[in-house]
Amino acid sequence: MMRNVADITMNAHLKGLSQPQTAPVQKMGDKFGEMLKTSMAEVNQAQISADRAAEQIAAGETKNLHGAMIKLEEADISLRLMVQVRNKAVEAYQEIMRMQV
């Protein structure tokens, strides 16, 4: 059975670099901004879900401690990842600002 395998040779990559970009820089920036907004909304939703699960455990509405802990850890990990992405973006911006033209 043959699978559709992407061409990963150096020649294929060089051909890809020689082709002009089809999307203007502004549209690429818009896509990046939308991706960041979507990611932040997902992190926020994970935090809300984890808070709700913790409240339900504290109020005795549910006995699913295992599920609540999983939600809390997922929210914590997603928040840590978002903070690291923010830090890298700030570092990249600062590096660009230090470049001499």
Can you give the residue ranges of every domain in the chain?
24-98
- Kindly report, residue by residue over 15-41, the tens digit of the pLDDT: 666 665 555 656 777 888 898 899 999
For residue 41, the number of C-alpha atoms closer than 13 Å in the C-beta half-sphere is 6
Q: If you average pLDDT over residues 51-57, what whole number do you get?
A: 94
What is residue 6's predicted lDDT score, i.e. its pLDDT?
A: 57
**What does the alpha-carbon distance between residue 82 and residue 93 come to, in Å, rounded to a whole number?**
17
**What does the alpha-carbon distance between residue 101 and residue 91 come to, in Å, rounded to a whole number?**
18
Q: What percent of the chain has pLDDT over 70?
A: 73
What is residue 62's predicted lDDT score, i.e. its pLDDT?
A: 86
Q: If you average pLDDT over residues 65-74, what whole number do you get?
A: 94
